[in-house]
Structure 1
Amino acid sequence: MTLVLIFVGAAVGAPLRYLTDRAVQSRHDSLFPWGTFSVNLVGCLILGALTGAGTALPTPALALAGTGFCGALTTYSTFSYETLRLAEQKAYFYAAMNTLVSIIAGLGAALLAYTTTRAIVFQ
Structure 2
Amino acid sequence: MTAPESLRVQVPAPHPPSWRAQVPVVTAVALGGGAGAAARYAVSLWWPSAAGGFPWTTFWVNVAGCAVIGVFMVVVTEIRTVHPLVRPFFGTGVLGGFTTFSTYAVDIQKLLEGRDVGTGLAYLAATPLAALAAVWLGARSTRRLLGGAGRADTKGKESL
Instruction: Specify the TM-score bucket, using the shorter chain as the normaliser.
Output: 0.7 to 0.9
**What is the aligned partner in structure 1 of residue 16 from structure 2?**
none
> Of the two structures, which has the highest relative contact order with CA contacts closer than 8 Å and spacing of 6 or more?
1
Moved more, 111-120 or 54-63: 54-63
Equivalence map 1:69-108=2 (5 Å): 69-108=94-133
**What is the aligned partner in structure 2 of residue 16 from structure 1?**
39
- Structure 2 stretches of 5 or more lacking a match? 1-23, 149-160
CA–CA separation in structure 1 for the residues paired with 2:73 and 2:25: 18
Of Structure 1 and Structure 2, which has the larger fraction of its residues in helix? 1
**What is the aligned partner in structure 2 of residue 120 from structure 1?**
145
Change (3 A) 1:57 1:94: farther
Change (3 A) 1:32 1:45: same
Task: Normalising by structure 1, report the TM-score.
Answer: 0.88
Which is higher, the Rg of structure 1 or of structure 2? 2
CA contact (8 A) 1:21 1:38 kept: no
Change (3 A) 1:4 1:46: same
> Structure 1 runs of 4+ off > 3 angstroms?
none
Provide the identity percentage.
Answer: 27
- Structure 1 stretches of 5 or more lacking a match? none
Change (3 A) 1:57 1:64: farther
Task: Normalising by structure 2, report the TM-score.
Answer: 0.69
Change (3 A) 1:30 1:85: closer
Q: Which amino acid aligns with 2:59?
A: F
Change (3 A) 1:117 1:57: farther
**What is the aligned partner in structure 1 of residue 5 from structure 2?**
none
In the comparison of the two structures, how many residue pairs are matched? Answer: 122
CA contact (8 A) 1:23 1:35 kept: no
CA contact (8 A) 2:67 2:134 kept: yes
How far residue 5 of structure 1 moved from its aligned partner, in angstroms, is 1.7
Q: Which amino acid aligns with 1:92?
A: V
